[in-house]
Structures are given as C-alpha cells and as structure tokens.
C-alpha cells in the first residue's frame, strides 16, 4: 500500500474561526453585482465560477449552480450538463494560465463530509504542483501563497 498524501491547509483556520455571514454566500454574492470584489470569474446560464476566498492553493475555484440546492440528484439536466462543462473549461483555463501538474476536484456533500457551505452544492477545483506543500505549514502553521487573490483573479479573468 502506498502512503496517503495530505494537502495541509492550516492557514484556513481564519476561515474556520470567522463569524459566518448570514445567508448563503453562493446565493448572496452573485446578486451583489460586484463580481471582481466577490471573486466571481464567470457566469453561465445555470452556474457560476467563484474563486475560493480561503484557498487551499492559488487558483482554487468553485463551480456552483445559481439555484440553492444541496441535492446533486435534484440538478436538472441543463444545470448538470453546464456544471460539468464549466468544470472542464476551468481545467483548461487553469492549465493554460497557471500550469499546474495536477488537480484535486471534488464535491463535499453534507457537513460531515467537510462541506463548508453544506446547503448549496459546489464543486471544488484545486490546482496542484509538485512540492506545493513545503516546510512552512509543518513548522509554523503558515502557508506561503505565492500570489494574492486579486492578482490571480485578474490573470484568470483576462484569460477566460
């Protein structure tokens, strides 16, 4: 058996200890018409792409339906088809702009599965590079993010 790989993210303690906003951010943010401030990269007909404000790695994206639902089986065919198509486009964009050597892609369905926003379905796309975890998180609970969120947003938005 091989060894298990861990994606350490102790810097996300800021996310865990924050006072949660009232309401669902995946519903509220798209209605604010402040896409850059809210890190919304793309709006489709049924789904949007938003950058994770507390990323595991630079370029950490989330694809979410506009409709507030936690039920994967409840997605309509058009919603599901567009969701998957947008995921593919996000992979192409991240490969072209950030040149990761791999990805973690997943849905956390339910709070016990690790969903931070358990009531609103969303797919995480996390770019990965060899050595993207180093000694800093291990020694000092510090993750070195080589690029600011706003800079990553502008770079990705310009290359959509």
| 8 touches 133 (CB < 8 A) | yes
Which of the following is catalytic: 60, 83, 120, 122?
122
List Cβ<8 Å contacts ≥24 apart for 26-29. Answer: 26/50, 26/62, 26/64, 26/68, 26/117, 26/120, 26/122, 27/66, 27/68, 27/120
The yes-or-no answer on residue 122 being catalytic is yes
How far apart (Å, rounded) are the C-alpha atoms in residues 160 and 157?
A: 5
CA–CA separation, 55 vs 15, rounded Å? 10
Helix (H) / strand (E) element for 140: namely helix 135-140
Catalytic residue positions, numbered: 122
């Amino acid at each position: 058996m091989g060894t298990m790989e861990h994606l350490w993210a102790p810097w996300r303690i800021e996310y865990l200890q924050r006072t949660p906003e009232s309401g669902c951010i995946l519903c509220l943010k798209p209605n604010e018409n402040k896409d850059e401030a809210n890190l919304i990269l793309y709006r489709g007909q049924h789904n949007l792409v938003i950058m994770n404000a507390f990323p595991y790695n630079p370029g950490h994206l989330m694809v979410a339906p506009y409709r507030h639902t936690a039920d994967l089986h409840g997605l309509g065919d058009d919603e599901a088809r567009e969701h998957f198509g947008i995921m593919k486009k996000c992979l192409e964009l991240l490969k072209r702009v950030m040149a990761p050597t791999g990805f973690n892609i997943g849905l956390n369905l339910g709070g016990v599965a690790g969903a931070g926003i358990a009531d609103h379905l969303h797919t995480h796309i996390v770019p990965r590079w060899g050595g993207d975890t180093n000694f800093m998180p291990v020694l000092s609970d510090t993750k070195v993010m080589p690029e600011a969120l706003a800079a990553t947003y502008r770079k990705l938005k310009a290359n959509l």
